Amino acid sequence: MLLIPEYDRLEDTLKYIHTNYKIIFEMELESWYTVEECWPEKRNLQVIKEWFDVEIHQMIIDTVDGFIEKENM
């Protein structure tokens, strides 16, 4: 699950995803396997739609008390 900027219109949310799909795709691939040579050659918007289900939710609820720490990558 990824948090992206909040937009008032669905069109703007989709535009953000379309603009940043390559970064998103590579982040997901990196979390599975770090050897880029094993990643799919084509990493376009069509392939990301085949590999992943994209769901857009307007709200996320934090059920854990405490601070959120950002992990260095």
pTM over 0.75: no
- Listing DSSP states for the chain in one string gives -------SSHHHHHHHHHHHHHHHHHHHHHHH---GGGS-S--SHHHHHHH------S-----S-S---PPP-
Instruction: Give the model's pLDDT for residue 73.
Output: 62
Residue range 33-61, pLDDT digits in tens: 888 888 888 988 888 888 888 888 888 88
Give the domain ranges of the chain. 10-51
